[in-house]
Amino acid sequence: MPLDALHSLMVRWPENEPRPEALFQQAGVEAVIGAAPDAKLPAGISSTYNEVLWPGIRTPGTRVDWVEETGSASRDPWIDSNAWVVVCQKALHPAKPVILGYQPNKEAGLDASRMVPYESLEMGLMEARAMGGNWIAAPDERFRRQLAANDAAALAAWKSFGEFAAWLAAN
């Protein structure tokens, strides 16, 4: 069956790391795409939008420890979202599927000072799908390392990600 660009669960995974096929199957991953910038995309997807920010809360300045983010009416944090990209691209190119392809790197606003919660995969997928697009989910290096180590929190988050993706596909 051909890949449905807007409803199929796709994941980026570095070519030089072992692929956890059992986890991909558990989550319902339908396509695995390399993490290299020139990685081949599945048939039916001509390009992705990569110049966006990792979704979630971002605070200014340098941080080396992870603490819960708080904000108020006149105080940070800033919430990064890419839903607007999907809406704008759909308006500009209504016949072309909008696929976000950003990865957890500096171009997406991430650096060593920003912890990436495992659940941000669900957030990225939700914001793209809610606006009629899709995202090639890209677990960060820490998440991939913890999955390989069978870390309970990482495995639970991956299972939740798969269940959430299945729910989005069904609804």
Torsion angles phi and psi, residue 159, rounded to 5: -60, -45
**Structural domain includes residue 71:** no
Per DSSP, the three-state class of 127 is helix
Distance CA 41, CA 64 (A): 35
**Structural domain includes residue 68:** no
**Structural domain includes residue 115:** yes
Count CB neighbours of 119 within 10 A.
13
Compute CA 67 distance to the chain's CA centroid, rounded to the nearest angstrom. Answer: 22
Count CB neighbours of 116 within 10 A.
18
**Structural domain includes residue 4:** no
The parent domain of residue 55 ranges over 10-60+78-170
Please determine, for residue 139, whether its predicted confidence score (pLDDT) is greater than 60.
Answer: yes
H runs (alpha helix) in 54-151: 83-92, 120-130, 141-148
Distance CA 95, CA 6 (A): 12
**Structural domain includes residue 3:** no
Of 13-22, 73-82, 101-110, where does mean pLDDT reach its minimum? Answer: 73-82
Q: Would you state the pLDDT for residue 158?
A: 97
pTM: 0.84
**Structural domain includes residue 152:** yes
Pairing of strands 56-58, 78-80: antiparallel
User: What are 141's two structure tokens?
Assistant: 């290096």
Say how many domains are in the chain: 1
pLDDT tens, position by position, 20-45: 999 999 999 999 999 988 888 888 88
